Amino acid sequence: MVECNGVEILQEICGHLRFDLETVASANCIPCRMPYITSMFMPRMVGDRPLPVPRGSKNFGFISQFVEIQDDVVPTVEYSVRAAQLVIRVAND
């Protein structure tokens, strides 16, 4: 898909959705790439991402999809919420 132009992408989508190409003849399809959108799904090792509360930190924490939460799955919006909850929990300990 990276090498496709807008017309080819639109034809592909219409084929999957069973749309008649004539109904979208005046549509514009402008391809764009988001090279970092899949970065959350790339292989990683423990230590590649910071802990929500770095060791030795006080009154400081990271909240995002790019922190390391032990025994959690692929980062999502809920992952970011859990990171924030973890930061607050650790700060109150």
The model's pLDDT over 47-69, given as tens digits with 9 standing for 90+, comes to 888 888 888 887 888 888 778 88
Block residue for tokens 């025994």 = 71
Compute the average pLDDT of residues 66-89. Answer: 82
pLDDT at residue 86 in the model: 87
Same domain, 46 and 20: no
Residues in contact with 82: Cβ distance below 8 Å, sequence separation at least 6, in sequence order: 69, 72
Residue numbers of the domain that contains 64:
38-93
List the structure tokens of 4.
């496709």
Whether residues 20 and 45 fall in one domain: no
Site of tokens 């989508």: 13
* 72 and 93 belong to one structural domain: yes
The yes-or-no verdict on residue 36 having pLDDT over 80 is: no
The pLDDT assigned to 69 comes to 85
Asked if 28 and 59 sit in the same domain, the reply is no
Number of domains in the chain: 2
Q: Is the per-residue pLDDT at 74 higher than 70?
A: no
Pair 42, 28 in one domain: no
Supply 17's token pair: 């959705």
